[in-house]
Chain A
Amino acid sequence: MPVIRFLLPIIAWMLLAVTPARAQLTIEIIGGAGTTIPISIVPFENESSWPLGMTGIVGADLTRSGLFKLIDYAGITPRPSRADEVKTGDFRARGADAVVVGSMRAVADGRVEVRFALVDAVKNAQLASMTYTVPPAQFRATAHKIADVIYEALTGDPGVFSTRIAYIAKQGSRYQLFVAEADGYNPQSIVTSNESMLSPSFSPDGTRIAYVSLESKKPVIYVQSLETGQRRVLANFHGSNSAPAWSPDSRRLAVTLTKDGGSQLFLINADGSGAQRLLSSQGIDTEANFTPDGKSILFTSDRGGTPQVYRLNLGSNSVERLTYEGSYNVSPRATPDGKGFVFVRREGSSFQIAIQDFATRQVQVLTSGPRDESPSVSPNSKMILYAAEQGGRGILAAVSSDGRVKQRLVSPATDVREPAWGPLPR
């Protein structure tokens, strides 16, 4: 298990070096992809002059994706720090298809120049290189950026290591909404309440987060600025206000309101004005989610007798049922690649995450339950973050959209739920 062998020192280092923040998540990899890209990451020249291990973070990011295998560089001397110093034969002999090298150098006003290059050891060619000049406070962000560049160069998909996630943590009777880095680091509490919160959702432009809070003894939707922490009520109408979902342009949200009777879908401007009803149905319509082109909305409805996933075409106002197998298919989330959606299905008494293709209607069940819920898809459509239960406690988990890579995000002594994956940084 080379992955584990690599991770253990990192996990040990995390435990020792980092101030334990409340609700810090630690990511465990449970299963990996069938094929992985063997990559050797050589510690950057002068990296040890600073406390944070830059290449360790890059390696942990890539490993966590399940698509990479780290190849030991030990024994290669002198250690290369530039692309033209890489003797690809040495790395090929160890099984590496790609090599990462780099250097760090102090420059003016405490900033550090970080250079790195990615070398294709098979073709003996440089694939990417970047230089960042950053203060040490930006080291983690820089490591994530480097991992993003490597991931994209070698897989063809954008990396999501620089994104953020949000989740709700419950400790005793206290609820907190946290925003953290995608690897679980630097969790920051942005709301604390004595009543439950649910359904956090990042605006696609990354500036705000919408969520539902029960602090005023009923569901009320808020939109909060991530920069200033200031929030405003988005919807506090008579009855319940819930299930906020941003439009791709971040200007409007689809929400579920009961002000006119029943749970019904409305569109509302991001400042809370102009609520207009989208549909009229006898039963429940809720859990709206825009498709990435903004032209339709997926939602859950019991109009057919059992809760199923439907699609509303906003142009023609026509509604089409999308799920047919089983008696409980809910919480649809369109994948950003536009190809399909993930949702929660019930099989017997087990709730599982599944993915359905729009074109073929084929369903693939990705998790085994028993209490999996609240899926959220990464911006590159490759991973799905969801809430699960382990030992009677809520945890977060992630699965790749092909079902092969599985991760658990564990936070000690805290009940964690309602994950949301943020957009790619702009």
Chain B
Amino acid sequence: MQKILLAALVLALVVGCKSTDTQQAAPVEEGAGTTAAPGAGGASTSGVGTGGVSGQPGGSGAMSPLRDPRNILSKRIVYFDYDSFVVKDEYRAMVEAHARYLQANRSAHVTLQGHTDERGSREYNIALGQKRADAVKQLMLVLGATQAQIETVSFGKEKPRSEGHDEGAWAQNRRVEIIYVGE
């Protein structure tokens, strides 16, 4: 009986190790055919992680204004009304502050990441999120940022801030996030 238990334990350990191994060895992709192919370009998922941002803030060693919670530059999300691409007045000061920062720091770059709520086609939502990101970009360009400093991209409905299925959740998800490159 003990032998059987021991064998079962060993087996469990082996199985446990094995599954851990495979998870670590091939997190990115594997072929439908036979061989596990490493991600061409290497970028794929490796090194991207789950979105927990680490790394150094741009600028000097002193507290970056981008990180200072008392500074308006630490605010990064513009929310939108349903079916709307208009940057509401309440976000103008924040967008303007970022535009001025980009004007004063020509080496700084931002990605404006557009998002939508969960309703409707995934691909059409990619386009809607893009339109929101483009609206924020237009405002930033007027206020002093340059084309070369801004990339607008869209996640559509793929990355909600709130997983709920009501207007409260949807309002959280219709947004543009301002992300400083290298931050």
Q: Is the CB of A196 within 8 A of B130?
A: no
Q: Is B183 an interface residue (CB 8 A)?
A: no
Q: Which of A30-38, A100-108, A258-266, A402-410 contacts B (4 or more CB under 8 A)?
A: A258-266
Q: How far is the CB of B117 from chain A (nearest CB, A)?
A: 12
User: How far is it, in angstroms, between the C-alpha of A217 and the C-alpha of B53 when the chains are bound?
Assistant: 12
Q: A193-B45, A215-B45, A228-B33 are in contact. Are A233 and B40 (CB under 8 A)?
A: yes
Q: Which of B29, B41, B49, B124 contacts A331 (CB 8 A)?
A: B124
Q: Which of B3-11, B58-66, B98-106, B147-155 contacts A (4 or more CB under 8 A)?
A: B147-155
Q: A239-B151, A240-B154 are in contact. Are A190 and B30 (CB under 8 A)?
A: yes
The CB with the most chain A CB atoms within 10 A, among B26, B113, B158, is that of B158
Q: Is B87 an interface residue (CB 8 A)?
A: no
Q: Is the CB of B151 within 8 A of A225?
A: no
Which residues of A lie under 8 Å from residue B158 when comparing CB positions?
195-196, 198, 214
Q: How far is the CB of B53 from chain A (nearest CB, A)?
A: 11
Interface size grouping (class) on chain B: 35 or more
User: How far is it, in angstroms, between the C-alpha of A352 and the C-alpha of B43 when the chains are bound?
Assistant: 37
Q: Is the CB of A199 within 8 A of B122?
A: yes
Q: Residue-by-residue, is A183-208 near B (CB-CB < 8 Å gives 1, otherwise 0)?
A: 00000111111111011000000000
User: How far is it, in angstroms, between the C-alpha of A275 and the C-alpha of B33 when the chains are bound?
Assistant: 30
User: How far is it, in angstroms, between the C-alpha of A261 and the C-alpha of B151 when the chains are bound?
Assistant: 10
Q: Residue-by-residue, is B89-125 near A (CB-CB < 8 Å gives 1, otherwise 0)?
A: 0000000000000000000000101000001111110
Q: How far is the CB of B181 from chain A (nearest CB, A)?
A: 10
Q: Is the CB of B30 within 8 A of A199?
A: no
Q: Which of A217, A344, A346 contacts B111 (CB 8 A)?
A: A217
Which residues of B lie under 8 Å from residue A258 when comparing CB positions?
130, 134, 152-154
Q: Is the CB of B124 within 8 A of A229?
A: no
Q: Is A148 an interface residue (CB 8 A)?
A: no
Q: Is A256 an interface residue (CB 8 A)?
A: yes
Which residues of A lie under 8 Å from residue B26 when comparing CB positions?
192
Which residues of A lie under 8 Å from residue B127 when comparing CB positions?
242, 256, 263, 284, 286
Q: How far is the CB of A91 from chain B (nearest CB, A)?
A: 41
The number of chain A residues with a CB under 8 A from chain B is 58
Q: Is the CB of A229 within 8 A of B121?
A: no
User: How far is it, in angstroms, between the C-alpha of A17 and the C-alpha of B128 when the chains are bound?
Assistant: 47
Q: Is B14 an interface residue (CB 8 A)?
A: no
Q: A226-B33, A330-B121, A392-B165 are in contact. Are A194 and B50 (CB under 8 A)?
A: yes
Q: Is the CB of B32 within 8 A of A227?
A: yes
Q: Is A80 an interface residue (CB 8 A)?
A: no
Q: Is the CB of A418 within 8 A of B48?
A: no
Q: Which of B45, B48, B119, B130 contacts A263 (CB 8 A)?
A: B130
Q: Is A219 an interface residue (CB 8 A)?
A: yes
Q: Is the CB of B37 within 8 A of A230?
A: yes
Q: Which of A190, A199, A228 contacts B123 (CB 8 A)?
A: A199
User: How far is it, in angstroms, between the C-alpha of A28 and the C-alpha of B113 when the chains are bound?
Assistant: 39
Q: Residue-by-residue, is A151-190 near B (CB-CB < 8 Å gives 1, otherwise 0)?
A: 0000000000000000000000100000100000000111
Q: Is the CB of B131 within 8 A of A263?
A: yes
Which residues of A lie under 8 Å from residue B40 when comparing CB positions?
230-233
Q: How far is the CB of A126 from chain B (nearest CB, A)?
A: 38
Q: Is B143 an interface residue (CB 8 A)?
A: no
Q: Is A328 an interface residue (CB 8 A)?
A: yes
Q: Residue-by-residue, is A341-380 near B (CB-CB < 8 Å gives 1, otherwise 0)?
A: 0001010010100000000000000000000011000000
User: How far is it, in angstroms, between the C-alpha of A293 and the C-alpha of B50 when the chains are bound?
Assistant: 43
Q: Is A300 an interface residue (CB 8 A)?
A: yes
Which residues of A lie under 8 Å from residue B55 when comparing CB positions?
none
Q: Is A251 an interface residue (CB 8 A)?
A: no
Q: Is the CB of B128 within 8 A of A287?
A: no
Q: How far is the CB of A4 from chain B (nearest CB, A)?
A: 32
Interface residues of B in 8-33 (CB under 8 A from A): 26-33
Q: A198-B158, A219-B126 are in contact. Are A227 and B121 (CB under 8 A)?
A: no
Q: Is the CB of B30 within 8 A of A198?
A: no
Q: Which of B27, B48, B130, B156 contacts A192 (CB 8 A)?
A: B27
Q: How far is the CB of A46 from chain B (nearest CB, A)?
A: 32
Q: Is the CB of B48 within 8 A of A229?
A: no
Q: Is B44 an interface residue (CB 8 A)?
A: yes
Which residues of B lie under 8 Å from residue A49 when comparing CB positions?
none
28 residue pairs bridging A and B, Cβ less than 8 Å apart: A173-B50, A190-B32, A191-B28, A193-B28, A195-B48, A198-B122, A214-B159, A216-B48, A218-B111, A218-B113, A219-B154, A224-B29, A225-B31, A226-B32, A227-B31, A229-B33, A229-B35, A242-B126, A243-B126, A258-B154, A261-B134, A263-B130, A263-B131, A300-B121, A331-B124, A349-B119, A351-B120, A373-B120
Chain A interface (Cβ within 8 Å of chain B)? 173, 179, 188-196, 198-199, 212-219, 224-233, 238-240, 242-243, 256, 258, 261-263, 284, 286-287, 300, 307, 328, 330-331, 344, 346, 349, 351, 373-374, 392, 417-418
Additional A-B contact list (20), CB under 8 Å, known A198-B126, A239-B152: A179-B32, A188-B32, A190-B32, A191-B28, A196-B155, A219-B154, A219-B155, A228-B33, A229-B37, A231-B37, A231-B40, A233-B40, A240-B152, A243-B126, A256-B126, A284-B127, A287-B121, A287-B124, A330-B120, A373-B122
